[in-house]
């Protein structure tokens, strides 16, 4: 029994250490806010589609993830480098990690110094990496792929004016 408790404790500590970093201050982004993005999640041959709205709230960023029917999946506020739940939805660790990686992907190249030293790498104009294991491949400023082992997200700007 003590070995099981030790294993569980070490797994919890390892999970805490592997969080995607966020800067203390919100960096300059490649697009004006509010921003609506289409997200296609692929893992193990399964695909999900979501909509994400990113809005500025004084000193914070509000992230609202919804399914195609508009049903909220996750809502988070990023304020002073800390995430907190926004609303009554239960915590969603995967969404929080996705939002952190998206913030990095949406940050202008000249604003990346806001991230902790050694946590990121600008490979070239079309690719960046972010700890612990995110790779961002750009097809355009608001058209890119976020990936990590076994999980990929395709991100595209959603132009609401075209859907009228």
Domain boundary assignment for the chain: 2-163
Can you give the pTM of this predicted structure? Answer: 0.86
Q: For 126-138, how does the pLDDT look when each residue is reduced to its tens digit (9 = 90+)?
A: 999 999 999 999 9
Would you state the pLDDT for residue 145? Answer: 98
Q: For 34-81, how does the pLDDT look when each residue is reduced to its tens digit (9 = 90+)?
A: 999 999 999 999 999 999 999 999 889 999 999 999 999 999 999 999
Show the beta-strand stretches assigned E in 92-163. Answer: 120-124, 127-130, 134-140, 143-148, 151-157
Residues in the chain, overall count: 164
CB 57 within 8 A of CB 33: no
């Amino acid at each position: 029994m003590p070995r099981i408790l030790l294993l569980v404790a070490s797994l919890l500590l390892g999970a805490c250490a592997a969080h995607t970093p966020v800067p203390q201050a919100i960096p300059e982004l490649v697009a004006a806010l509010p921003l609506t993005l289409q997200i296609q999640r692929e893992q193990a041959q399964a695909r999900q589609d979501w909509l994400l709205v990113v809005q500025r709230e004084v000193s914070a960023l509000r992230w609202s993830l919804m399914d195609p029917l508009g049903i909220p999946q996750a809502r988070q506020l990023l304020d002073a480098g800390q995430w907190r739940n926004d609303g009554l939805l239960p915590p969603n660790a995967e969404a929080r990690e996705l939002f952190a990686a998206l913030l990095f992907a949406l940050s202008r190249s000249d604003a990346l110094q806001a991230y902790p030293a050694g946590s990121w790498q600008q490979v070239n104009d079309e690719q960046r990496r972010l700890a612990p294991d995110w790779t961002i491949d750009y097809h355009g400023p608001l058209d890119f792929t976020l990936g990590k082992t076994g999980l990929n997200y395709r991100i595209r700007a959603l132009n609401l004016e075209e859907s009228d």
